[in-house]
Amino acid sequence: MTTHLPPAAYPATRMRRNRLTDWRRRLTRQTEVSVNDLILAMVVHDGTQSRIPVASMPGTYRYSRTEAVAVAQEAESLGVPMIAVFPFIDPALKNGEGSEAFNPDGLVPDVVSAMKKAAPNVGLMTDVALDPFTDHGHDGLIDDAGTMLNDPTIAALVRQAVLEAQAGADVVAPSDMTDGRIGAIRAGLDAAGFQDVAIMSYAAKYASAFYGPYRDAIGSKGALKGDKKTYQMDPGNSDEAIREVGLDIAEGADMVMVKPGMPYLDIVRRVKDAFGVPTYAFQVSGEYAMMEAAIANGWLDGSRVRMEALACFKRAGADGIITYWALEAAKKLGERP
């Protein structure tokens, strides 16, 4: 005998109704990643080999000048708005002052100029920090004890930012975390006639263990003397991030960034809620490497997990994501209904 429960015993609301079919899920989805959210992170080198694999970042390469131009054209064709360029500098050109960062004929100015000419509709963002150029691996100038010097470093970063703007950078991104560098760089760019070059500040950059593979990619890992805890933020701090972001906005930052990304989604949310400014997250090398290793072992579904990870940033409040997956994600998004 079938017993029917009275209507009052049934759920008043059935949340599953909106999940039953693909079209319902798409219609009710609150967070959606689009190609407009993607910034491609890429590493360039000045050798003849077109692509040099980065062992700790499967599927990622150091690109030659010619290959970087081809990547920029592909990004443009896919609608990716911006590329973040990072250099692998010949160790023979490195020294304690990072003087190759100020070479107008150096790798970064050369590659940026070529990419801009080949793909004028893609924004180019350059890193402002000395760690790829120094033989000690720090982001700025250091004293005999290995501690980074704040004010002398700022003067060097202003020179670097202006040089990168002259080469065609649309956005400069100070990643060093020295105090006061945003205001100094803004003043330096304006004085040199680059009022329209924007600044994306690494405003809340943590002294994280998730950067290791990137240091392999740019060749600074073995060179690093000591650590960066005297200038990058303590991973245990949250309120400090709000202070840092507020200072950078007051000094003229057009956009702000939280780095690393996924382990710091709470910071992304706090920053966006507190300031409402264009806020970005960097899906750093360690995040990429962990997921790619699991994908390679068959432990994760790569097609799904890459897109899910990117959606997490959007859900947390990020306006965009700097990621090594930008091209793959743009292609995947092009396949969606």
335 a known binding residue?
no
For β-strands 51-53 and 61-63, DSSP reports them as antiparallel
Query: Cβ contacts of residue 297 below 8 Å, gap of 6+?
Result: none
DSSP state of 228: S
259 is known as an active-site residue: yes
Cβ-contact 254, 278 below 8 angstroms: yes
Catalytic residue among 94, 116, 228, 259: 259
How far apart (Å, rounded) are the C-alpha atoms in residues 288 and 291?
Answer: 5
Catalytic residue among 205, 228, 272, 314: 205
27: CB partners within 8 A, 6+ apart? 18
Distance CA 138, CA 140 (A): 6
Active site residue 205: yes
Burial of 176 (0-12, 13-18, 19+ CB in 10 A): buried
What letter represents residue 101's amino acid? Answer: A
Name the binding residues. Answer: 244
Catalytic sites, residue numbers: 205, 259
Which residue numbers belong to the known binding site for Mg(2+)?
244
